[in-house]
Amino acid sequence: MAEANLVQLGRMSYQEAWNLQRRVGEGVGSGALLDTVLLVEHPPVYTVGRSAHGSLENLLWDEKRRQAEGIDLFMVDRGGDITYHGPGQLVGYPILNLSHHGKDLHRYLRFLEESLIRALQHFGIWAGRMPPHTGVWVGDEKVAAIGVKASHWITQHGFALNVSPQLEHFLGIVPCGIEDKGVTSMERLLGRQVSLQEVTPMVVEQLARVFEFQFRHVTPADLNIE
């Protein structure tokens, strides 16, 4: 069991969370910080990863429509294509030094999937993998997306679990650039209201089991990275 920081940021803008990720990344990289997992809920935002190579091909709505829906747009340095974040989605940014986790990028992806699959199982949702499409799937529909950046074995970005997001916002994009698959949420799968407050503790517990973490619950201020 290794100690790790868990920071629950609550609602935070994508930009602000991104800045925080980078500062935490430097801290983890230098050894000043333990492995740190940030959990956050974003206002509506589309992010485009490196696999898109700068193309907005998979963004279906035009500028006007997007702004009318109140959705931001960011080009980011993670792997993968376009995705959506918004209220009702549990976003996790595990900033880990993979040197202590087997130095294996794919294994890391599988561990993220495993944590979420196990958490979903607790709620009675039998989710699984659909190689080669990284992510967590229920049938043909994706319930959690994954996209990661690694530099010198330090990870950034992570996963987004659809607890109860506005699924209509996914209509504006081809999620991850995969055309023939849909998106779903825990709320839709369970047919009842599900809150982030209800889901978060179980996701934390499974991350701890899979990565063998003993979490210290801390605030951003505790990290001393200002």
Partner 1 sequence: MAIEVVTMPQLGESVTEGTIGEWLKKVGDPVEKYESLLEVATDKVNAEVPSPIGGKIAKILVDPGVTVPIGTPICEIEVEGSGAGQEAAAGVTPAAETLANAPAPTTPPVTAGAASSAVEGRGRFSPAVRRLAQEYGIDPGQIAGTGAGGRVTRNDVLRVAQEKPASKPAAAVGTAPAPAPAAASAPQPAVLLESAPAVIDEGDIVQPLSSVRKVIAERMVRSKQTVPHAWLMAEVDVTGLVELRERIKDEFKGREGISLTYLPFMLRAVVEGLRAVPEMNAQWNNDSIVLKKSINIGMAAATDRGLIVPVVRNADQKNVVGLAQATQDLVRRSRAGRLTLDDLSGGTFTVDNTGAVGTVLTYPVINAPEAGIVTMESIVKRPVVVGGMIAVRSMVNVCLSFDHRVVDGAEAGKFIQVVKKHLEAIGPDTSIY
Q: Do the Cβ atoms of 175 and 83 come closer than 8 Å?
A: yes
Residue among 50, 118, 129, 188 that touches partner 1 (CB under 8 A):
50
Active site residue 111: no
Q: What is the residue-wise DSSP string for 49-84?
A: -GGGTT--TTB-S-HHHHHHTT-EEEE-SSSSSEEE
Instruction: Report if residue 103 touches partner 1, rule: CB under 8 A.
Output: yes
Site string for partner 1, 110-129 (x = CB under 8 A): x-------------------
Q: What angle do CA 173, 175, 190 make, to 5 degrees?
A: 110
**Pairing status of strand 2-11 against strand 213-218:** parallel
Gap between the Cα atoms of 155 and 141, Å rounded: 26
Task: Please give the size of the binding site for partner 1, defined by CB under 8 A.
Answer: 27
Q: Does 108 bind partner 1 (CB under 8 A)?
A: yes
Give me the least distance between CB of 49 and partner 1, in Å please. 7
Radius of gyration in angstroms for the set of CA atoms belonging to the chain, rounded to a whole number: 16
Residue 171, SS3? helix
Q: Which two tokens stand for residue 85?
A: 């974040």
Q: Which one, 17 or 145, has the nearer CB to partner 1? A: 145
Question: Site for partner 1 (CB under 8 A): which residue of 16, 57, 104, 212?
Answer: 104
CB of 86: closest distance to partner 1 in angstroms? 20
142 near partner 1 (CB under 8 A) = no
Q: Which listed residue (40, 176, 186, 203) is catalytic?
A: 176
| Residues carrying an active site annotation | 176
Q: Which residues bind partner 1 (CB under 8 A)?
A: 49-51, 53, 77-80, 102-110, 132, 134-135, 146-152
